[in-house]
């Protein structure tokens, strides 16, 4: 799975058409809902996030949030004040996911 996600990440960051990049991001997002991907596998998405169209950023942010790795937090937080509402909402959700996962189980509300 990780190797496939690495390849899809490379496609998402490539100069391919919008439709190809969206398909790659959708596939990565789907994989991240079934597997907890290591941040290192999707970190290139964080590094290249500023180059994505606003309609593609929610995919990127959802994937970063699903890693549950606090190293993703600064890369997600920078989108909390993005001009597009959908991007801000997905960034907020990803931040909540990252922060919630950082808490120990005994600190979480029942």
> What's the CATH code of the domain at 84?
1.25.10.10
Measured between alpha carbons, how far is 2 from 27 in angstroms, rounded to an integer? 12
Query: pTM of the prediction?
Result: 0.89
Task: Write out pLDDT tens, residues 30-59.
Answer: 999 999 999 999 999 999 999 999 999 999
Task: Write down the pLDDT at residue 109.
Answer: 52
Range of the domain at 83: 2-107
The predicted model gives 62-89 an average pLDDT of 97
Q: Could you give the number of structural domains in the chain?
A: 1
Whether the Cβ atoms of residue 56 and residue 23 lie closer than 8 Å to each other: no
The predicted model gives 80-87 an average pLDDT of 98
Percent of the chain with pLDDT over 90: 89
Q: Where are the alpha helices (DSSP H) in 1-110?
A: 2-12, 18-34, 39-48, 57-66, 73-77, 85-102
Tokens of 12: 């998402």
At residue 104 the predicted structure's pLDDT band, cuts being 50, 70 and 90, is very low
What's the chain's Rg over C-alpha atoms? Answer: 14
At residue 100 the predicted structure's pLDDT band, cuts being 50, 70 and 90, is confident
Task: Write down the pLDDT at residue 86.
Answer: 98
Task: Write down the pLDDT at residue 110.
Answer: 47
At residue 103 the predicted structure's pLDDT band, cuts being 50, 70 and 90, is low
């Amino acid at each position: 799975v990780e190797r496939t996600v690495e390849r899809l990440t490379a496609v998402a960051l490539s100069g391919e058409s919008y439709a190809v990049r969206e398909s790659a991001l959708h596939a990565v997002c789907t994989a991240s809902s079934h597997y907890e991907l290591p941040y290192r596998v999707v970190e290139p998405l964080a590094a290249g996030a500023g180059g994505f169209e606003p309609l593609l950023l929610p995919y990127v942010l959802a994937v970063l949030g699903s890693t549950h790795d606090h190293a993703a937090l600064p890369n997600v937080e920078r989108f909390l004040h993005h001009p597009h509402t959908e991007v801000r909402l997905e960034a907020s959700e990803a931040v909540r996911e990252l922060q919630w996962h950082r808490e120990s189980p005994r600190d979480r509300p029942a």
